[in-house]
Amino acid sequence: MRRFFASVLEVCEIALVAVGAVFLIRGFLVQPFLVSGSSMAPMFSNGDYLLIDELSYRFRQPERGEVVVFRYPKDDSTYFIKRIIGLPGERVVIKNGIVTVFDEARPQGVKLSEDYLGSGTFTSGNLEFSLKADEYLVLGDNRSYSFDSRTWGPLKTSDVVGLVRLRLWPVGNIRAFAAPQY
């Protein structure tokens, strides 16, 4: 009888450690995310299963070009995936399909070369954003079908959940991601 209780206790301990490990990993390190929609095509498609790194932004700020998952500013229960285009303190101008970034180091502005966009992609709108110290400008890669900062404004730092690091599904498209160089 003692052996039976010892075995049951051991199984409970293993289950408790496993649940605790899953809680810690999912709560503080990585989180799964399922892409819904085509706003990030061709890089990400509807149904892609991604792993989101929640730890990196505890030690550094997001960089231009990184793809992030965040809570939609007007509804905390909805999550979006978009690419960071404008950083805190910058002025971003969208005009005639061209995205230009102005900051202290480049007061004349720099036109972004967005090689990750699909051919024929046009960034619509004649807009200008002056980002505060805790704001980012995020755009979808499929600009014609993306509900992004052009519509609802800058994204607060506090809404960013994490950085897209890895696509796990579909199996034929497994890939790790890094920010493009501008």
Cα distance between residue 43 and residue 41, in whole Å: 5
Is 95 among the domain residues?
yes
Per run of 10 residues, the mean pLDDT along the chain (length 182 residues) is 73 66 56 80 86 87 92 88 94 92 89 83 88 94 89 93 85 71 64
Q: Residue 82 catalytic?
A: yes
* pLDDT in the model for residue 23: 59
Which is catalytic among the residues 38, 82, 95, 146? 82
Q: Kindly give, in sequence order, each residue whose CB lies less than 8 Å from that of residue 127, ignoring residues fewer than 6 positions away.
A: 93, 94, 95, 150
Paired with 136 in beta bridges are 155
Residue 124: Cβ within 10 Å count: 12
Domain count, the chain: 1
Residue 40, in any domain of the structure: yes
Q: Which residue out of 39, 132, 144, 149 is catalytically annotated? A: 39
Q: Domain holding 86: CATH number?
A: 2.10.109.10
Question: In which domain, by residue range, is 94 found?
Answer: 30-176
* Residue 44 counted as domain residue: yes
Q: Is residue 14 part of a domain?
A: no
Give residue-wise pLDDT tens across range 14-38.
766 666 555 555 555 567 777 788 8
pLDDT of residue 64: 92
- Burial-class residue 1 by CB neighbours within 10 Å (0-12, 13-18, 19+): exposed
What is the per-residue pLDDT for 76?
84
Q: Which bin fits 58, alpha (ψ -120 to 50), beta or left (φ > 0)?
A: alpha
7 catalytic per annotation? no
pLDDT at 176: 66
pTM greater than 0.85 (yes/no): no
Specify if 71 maps to a domain.
yes
